[in-house]
Structure 1
């Protein structure tokens, strides 16, 4: 399959979308074929190290995130220069390189597309962050979010989340 054909559907989904500096987006990315790579604790740790690298984020800020066995949710605030599609691409690439190196494998780790939702001014960022980090609870992976190792949030000062 030609590379252009592979991403044609993804580009069609992105058509008409605007990436705005300072805008906050809830982004969901899934592994290729929904493979549960991150059910392995060590693979999950490697993925988290990769997508938290400043180079992967460029000028964006990661406000909250959760890494599930076969997908990730990121709450991203864009910086002034790098558009959302590039930030997501860089984060997926950094994770893919690190995890592939660890597993001595080649090939795509993530699916080619991603889903994003731009938050509105009236949306409460902390409520969205709570929703994101509560994914393991809703999926039945843990009974308390503190028992799940792969999440973080900038509002971690106790009761403020």
Structure 2
């Protein structure tokens, strides 16, 4: 094999590894956030949180990867530095059944095949708080468990 072919093969492997690493990172972080935000919610709760992250990823106003959306500062309560869920979501074990479910859902989202239960929502909040003022113009798309989902009004 010539040096050129060796270099080309190395670059192909490096590119494949980078794509795999990016895929895994996007799945891991969106699953951790969904687990931290909605692990106690009824069926559809974690999926809806991942839907919001995927909808943001596809919106030019937000970062263009699930991991970047998931880790964006002050966007998801469970990731806030002083939130009691933060250490839990950072330490969740791979064998946790709800985390495994969140990872499956996040994998589907990363592949672009996760059904959107939120009808395009890019925001949500718990029903234990009043509607935030930044959502005054947004329209409610659905309620799933204890979360109310919104999208920008057209």
TM-score by length of 1: 0.27
Bigger strand fraction: 1
Bigger helix fraction: 2
Rg bigger for which structure? 2
Compare relative contact order (CA 8 Å, sep 6+) and give the higher one, 1 or 2.
1
TM-score by length of 2: 0.27
